[in-house]
Amino acid sequence: MNKSKEIIIFDTTLRDGEQAPGCSMTLGEKLKIAHALKDLNVNVIEAGFAAASPGDFESVKAIASEIEGPTICCLARCNEGDIEKAQQALEVSPNGRIHVFVATSEIHLKHKLNMAKDEVIKAAYNGVKMAKEYCENVEFSPEDASRTDHDFLTEVVNAAIEAGATTINIPDTVGYTIPYEFGELFKHLITNCNNAEDVIFSVHCHDDLGLSVANSLAALESGAQQVECTINGIGERAGNTSLEEVCMAIRTRKEYFDFYTSIDSTKLYPTSRLVSTITGMHVPRNKAIVGDNAFSHEAGIHQHGMLRHASTYEIMKPQDVGIGRSNLVLGKHSGRHAFLDRVKELGYELSNEDLDPAFGEFKKLADRKKDIFDSDIEAIVLSADGGTLSTWELIDLETSSGSSWGACAELKLKHFDGSTHEVSTAEQPSSGPIESVFNAIEEITGYNLELTNFEIHSVSVGEDAQGEVTVTVSYEGQDFRGHGISTDIIESGALAYLEVINRIERNRNRH
């Protein structure tokens, strides 16, 4: 097999993925994911849309200055203001790319842009030309390409190539196309566009019909050399092409495909867990490649086959994607080195400033739990944030409740200035213990938050399993999200609510 053609992996988790409702991230969280994407060995990181907001601008600039290796890309509309913002954010990077786009489908021209076709062609040409003045590496996307007339799409792409685009990305923006049809579109463009051999054709699919990975693979078979995707497939509506699925399809079926990727597949699962924890978008148990059930077998005939030979019911090894096969790993007598070795075996890295608090949390958990699983270790690592100063810290929590009278809480918090604050809600019982704890936290901290989402997720198994709570609140028109993990679900909720308040405090101090 000829393995000369490497597929460029363009990750847009930090741009298109963040557009999914509830997936907004802080600068620190984006940097964590950007470092994980670098370790995963993606070729291009689309860091954001610099003109969208001051926060997006700062995120792109920070990632461009801190991440070395992958190309750092910034999205921009085909107008001077957007392109200048992208250039300013990327100027700190020696390896930047400006990605300009304009809609091309009849429905977008009529109902969104109110532009004629010749105006769109001109916008595409001028946008690429302008970006080219700042950056040699320019990508162009005709938005909603899969619903655009093929001849007109060819004209637009020709204009972009003539203006100097180095990558032509063909998006299935609303997840409308199907594999054979999309493959034929790529063949048409590569055959009929001027100087098509001088540019890289790229594919960007959404999953509205559940076909994003299939459509992306069809495009690659038809000559595309770059695939745009996100970790866990997160993104608007039904999401984007899943990076882990498309990469493992190429790797697993290498006898069929005549291309490959440079992705370190053993980092797929740790990166998936990181993105899931940061965004609060839990991975479904039956999710391909990285779901909890992806390598689980319950049916008797399957288990019998697995015991004879794993290949009977597994086309990949769990170790290939970074999932360990061990079960119970550490206990209360395990030392720091054993803990750190296990963390590394699971595919994670802990900085010196995060190691001490993470090991401390492990020791606390070991006192509470009889058995500690890999997933427990992962939860500790992913919540480690030893380098970040928190305004409020939970010292003690007691709750009581009854079906006839409600619930109350007694809470003690410590402020970063060293002072401690206590409150009891006994005189004003709430409908449940979580509500009473949240009311107590608000009374001490002085915040009045609107809770918009509350999720509970089991981290491991057993009666003493850790519970992860994710809360989302609205405060002064902005959404904030927090996570808490404990064997006590009420304590998890308190920790998550406190993390939200600490994030609000950091956000206010930063501004």
Residues 471, 484: Cα–Cα separation, whole Å: 9
Residues 430, 401: Cα–Cα separation, whole Å: 9
Which region, left, alpha or beta, applies to residue 242 given φ > 0 means left and ψ of -120 to 50 means alpha?
Answer: beta
Tokens at 252, concatenated: 């697993």
- Lowest mean per-residue pLDDT among 7-21, 94-108, 267-281, 360-374: 360-374
For residue range 468-508, list pLDDT tens digits in order: 898 989 998 888 888 888 889 999 999 999 989 988 988 77
Question: pLDDT band for position 338 (50/70/90)?
Answer: confident
Output the pTM of the full model.
0.81
Res. 441: pLDDT tops 50: yes
The one-character DSSP state at 226 is E
Phi, psi of 45 (to 5 degrees): -115, 115
> Which CATH code fits 392-510?
3.30.160.270
Residues 35, 66: Cα–Cα separation, whole Å: 9
Domain edges within the chain = 5-279, 295-321, 326-388, 392-510
How confident is the prediction for the chain on average, in pLDDT? 89
User: One-letter amino acid identity for 167?
Assistant: T
**302, burial (CB in 10 Å: exposed 0-12, middle 13-18, buried 19+):** middle
* pLDDT given for residue 464 in this prediction: 72
Tokens at 162, concatenated: 């003539």
* pLDDT given for residue 333 in this prediction: 73
* pLDDT given for residue 311 in this prediction: 62
Torsion angle defined by CA atoms of residues 329, 335, 339 and 341, in that order, rounded to the nearest 10 degrees: -100
What is the full DSSP assignment across 286-331? Answer: T-TTTSTTTT---SHHHHHHHHH-GGGT-SS-GGGGT-----EEE-
Output the CA angle 350-333-339, nearest 5 degrees: 15
Question: pLDDT band for position 297 (50/70/90)?
Answer: very low
Looking at residues 195-204, what average pLDDT do you find?
A: 98
The one-character DSSP state at 170 is E
The one-character DSSP state at 46 is E
Res. 303: pLDDT tops 60: no
Query: Would 5-279 and 392-510 be classified into the same CATH topology?
Result: no
For residue range 4-58, list pLDDT tens digits in order: 699 999 999 999 998 877 777 889 899 999 999 999 999 999 999 999 999 999 9
* pLDDT given for residue 309 in this prediction: 53
Res. 322: pLDDT tops 50: yes
Distance of CA 442 to the CA centre of its chain: 30
For residue range 445-459, list pLDDT tens digits in order: 999 999 998 999 887
For residue range 117-134, list pLDDT tens digits in order: 999 999 999 999 999 999
Looking at residues 360-383, what average pLDDT do you find?
A: 79
Looking at residues 184-194, what average pLDDT do you find?
A: 98
- Taking residue 317's Cβ as centre, other Cβ atoms within 10 Å add up to 13
Q: How far apart are the first and last CA of the chain?
A: 56
> Which CATH code fits 5-279?
3.20.20.70
The one-character DSSP state at 283 is P
Res. 69: pLDDT tops 90: yes
**DSSP helix, strand, coil percent of the chain (3-state; round to 5):** 45, 20, 35
**448, burial (CB in 10 Å: exposed 0-12, middle 13-18, buried 19+):** exposed
